[in-house]
Amino acid sequence: MAARSGESLFVTPKPVALMNRVLQIGTDKSEPEIVLDFFAGSASFAHAVMDLNSSENSKRHYICVQIPEPMEDAEVTIADIGKERIRRAAKKIADARDGKLDLEDSGALDLGFKVFKLDRSNFKIWDGAEAAASDNLGKQLEMHVNHMVEASTPEDILYELLLKSGFPLTTSIDKRQMPGGEVYAIAGGALIICLEKNITPELIDAIAEDNPLQVICLDEGFNGNDQLKANAVQTFKARAEAEEREIVFRTV
């Protein structure tokens, strides 16, 4: 897609008031409806959703999708402009509500948002064709001694595991400090994701005591200590039996 300049980019700016009306017609204010704008541009729809939620005390949600289309005259992309617009609109709405009496007991208005970018997996993919070439087998094996992509952040890995475990991106995630390390409790603790690089028996015990349904740990967290991993399997098994249910334990 060709880059566009700031001047010609927003040739058809949509008034937020008009978008509000569209939202009022198309969505039910008493339901937590989700509005999807697949070509979000400068995020005027997100702005309108927040605006309407504020004036109607509704809980509509929005999903904006935007490619990082570059602009001609600036370093930023259209997606950057959309994100900044959401931040500023949220601040303006929050400021305007500040100090007003909440006569309708509307509760806190959710003006937060998360940004996700499509990316490759954080786990290296075994390349069979590459490995088949005799010179490259050693290189492929070496690459997979640690099969995580080096540049991956804990957040990258966390969200990939979350999605692969069947949870949506909107699932609640709490960081929990436990003896021996930190874990992420997904959906109130149904799934525990542990990204610690030095897993200890104390940490495994603490996770088991939390009674999760699923536990995912990094394989590298066991540092090649098979006994520690085997003990972890036994710890979760014993806990599951005591609680008369199953705990699915996986390493990645």
List the one residue from 3, 34, 36, 67 that touches ligand SAM (CB under 6 A): 67
Place of tokens 């090649």: 224
Q: How far is the CB of 56 from ligand SAM (least distance, A)?
A: 20
- Give the count of residues interacting with ligand SAM (CB under 6 A): 11
Q: Which is nearer to ligand SAM, 69 or 210 (CB)?
A: 69
Q: Which residues pair with 4 in a beta bridge?
A: 71
Q: Which is nearer to ligand SAM, 2 or 103 (CB)?
A: 2
Q: Which is nearer to ligand SAM, 83 or 239 (CB)?
A: 83
Q: Which long-range CB contacts under 8 A does 23-32 form with residues at least 24 apart?
A: 23/48, 23/49, 23/52, 23/60, 24/52, 27/60, 29/56, 29/58, 29/60, 30/58, 32/59, 32/60, 32/61
Q: How far is the CB of 120 from ligand SAM (least distance, A)?
A: 19
| Both tokens assigned to 206 | 């603490």
Q: Which is nearer to ligand SAM, 14 or 61 (CB)?
A: 14
CA distance 80 to 47: 15
- CB neighbours (10 Å) of residue 195? 23
Helical residues (DSSP H) of the chain, grouped into ranges: 6-9, 16-26, 44-56, 78-97, 128-132, 137-143, 154-164, 201-209, 226-243
Q: Which is nearer to ligand SAM, 41 or 180 (CB)?
A: 41
Q: How far is the CB of 69 from ligand SAM (least distance, A)?
A: 4
Q: Does 69 bind ligand SAM (CB under 6 A)?
A: yes
CA distance 95 to 85: 15
The half-sphere exposure of 42 on its side-chain side, counting CA atoms within 13 A, is 14
CA distance 76 to 237: 51
Sites for ligand SAM among residues 1-20 (CB under 6 A):
14
For residue 228, CA distances in Å to 114, 117, 202, 233 come to: 36, 36, 11, 9
Q: Does 207 bind ligand SAM (CB under 6 A)?
A: no
Q: How far is the CB of 221 from ligand SAM (least distance, A)?
A: 39
Q: Which is nearer to ligand SAM, 37 or 220 (CB)?
A: 37
Q: Which is nearer to ligand SAM, 69 or 205 (CB)?
A: 69
Sites for ligand SAM among residues 115-134 (CB under 6 A):
none
Sites for ligand SAM among residues 18-57 (CB under 6 A):
37, 39-42, 44-45
| Both tokens assigned to 39 | 């070509």
Q: How far is the CB of 109 from ligand SAM (least distance, A)?
A: 21
**Which positions touch ligand SAM (CB under 6 A)?**
14, 37, 39-42, 44-45, 67, 69, 78
